[in-house]
Amino acid sequence: MKIWASLAAAVLALSAAISPAAEPRRSGYDDSSRETQAMQDDDAGNPAFLWVRQGEALWDQDCKGCHGAAGTLRGVAARYPLFDPRANRLLTLEQRIVQCRTDRMGAPAFAWDDERLLALSALVGLQSRGLPLNAEPREPFLSQGEALFRERIGQLNLSCAQCHEERAGLRLSGATIPQGHATGYPAYRLEWQGMGSLYRRLRNCLNGVRAEVFAPDSPEAAALALYLAVRAKGMRVETPAVRP
Amino acid sequence: MDRVLINVPKQVTRGVPFEIKILVSHPMESGQRRDQMGQAIPRDIINHFVAMLDGELVLEADFFPAISANPFLSFSAVAEKSGILTLAFTDDKGEVRTETAAVTVG
């Protein structure tokens, strides 16, 4: 018995020694099923790469003239949302791409859910895959974003934090409530059978609590995205992720 | 079906099975859904798929509803010599999309 007890203690000590420093933050990947993780792990099986491919074609057509060949924007997506001093506003990556089109190219803006915008942001996001999220915690946007995250909203009178912090890991109608770290957007969601931006995901939640949905180019959308990015600072970019 | 991604190993060994992985962008509308006005959305799926290696049939399949949008296909083949893999997808609109990929036996 004594031998078994000491052996068990040794095994416990060993497993404690080899487990990495506990990272309490879990990305949506960690909370996904093995099958969903496998889809994300294999670029040949990740349907988001259909959008990446489309993004490469668009890049060659519209962006290459200024930015050079695709692949020059490593690390860029990890810094968004970013404050633009010229426009004096906070911009998400999608808003930046639209701004580049309208201001610099004189081209018509993409609608926020345009497949081409998803394709380009997936292409730019992919170039930061594996890098730590590193958005600048700029005020007053960060505080505005956090206030939005903690404010009770909608007819259900729920805040983001009540689900994604206090009840993260519990179940909501059969699905695990994730911690809400936006590490993989734009992402392919199986529920959508398609690609979607972080804004689409936020709109989902806002609708879910029956709150008034803020506009895709609103300061609220950018501020909340910034708070989420700073909250997930140091976590790895997974774009383009696969989510359930 | 505007985008098809085909993944074949860069080099395959003669007589040894290799895996072919394919992603096709397609809505795969099942025909069971209704739009916001209550009108049935017509079925639109890829209903037929043929894979040929240098004119020789590798795989032929009929598809039915309940396959997800943007389907992922994976199957194995054996090659005796280098050749061209030809994939043909037919959907309910009658559109046929043909894609090719090189298979190199080394």
pLDDT in tens, A155-165: 999 999 999 99
Name residues 138-177 of chain A within 8 A of B (Cβ): none
According to DSSP, the β-strands at A187-189 and B4-7 are unpaired
- Is residue B1's pLDDT more than 90? no
Virtual torsion, Cα A147, A150, A153, A157, nearest 10 deg: -160
pLDDT in tens, A65-118: 999 998 899 999 999 999 999 999 999 999 999 999 999 999 999 999 999 999
| ipTM of the shown complex | 0.90
B36 inside domain: no
- Is residue A225's pLDDT more than 50? yes
What's the CATH code of the domain at B11? Answer: 2.60.40.10
Residues of B with CB under 8 A from a CB of A: 2-3, 5, 7, 21, 23, 25, 27-28, 68-70, 72, 74
B64 inside domain: yes
Nearest to B5 among A39, A53, A193 (CB): A53
Q: How many residues does chain B have?
A: 106
Joined tokens for residue A77: 């997506």
Q: What is the largest CA-CA distance in chain B?
A: 57
- Is residue A137's pLDDT more than 60? yes
Is domain A34-243 annotated with CATH 1.10.760.10?
yes
SS3 A44: coil
Q: What is the mean pLDDT of chain B?
A: 94
Using pLDDT thresholds of 50, 70 and 90, give the confidence band for residue B40: very high
Name residues 15-34 of chain A within 8 A of B (Cβ): none
Q: What is the mean pLDDT of chain A?
A: 90
Which whole number is the average pLDDT over A212-225?
Answer: 94
Nearest to B23 by CA among A121, A52, A86, A222: A52
Nearest to B3 among A42, A53, A194 (CB): A53
Residues of the domain holding B87: 4-30+44-103
- Is residue A16's pLDDT more than 50? no
Q: What is the rounded CA–CA span in Å between residue A175 and residue A35?
A: 15
**Set of chain A residues whose Cβ sits within 8 Å of the Cβ of B8:** none
CB contact under 8 A, B5 and A50: yes
B21 inside domain: yes
Using pLDDT thresholds of 50, 70 and 90, give the confidence band for residue A174: confident
B87 inside domain: yes
**How many domains, chain B?**
1
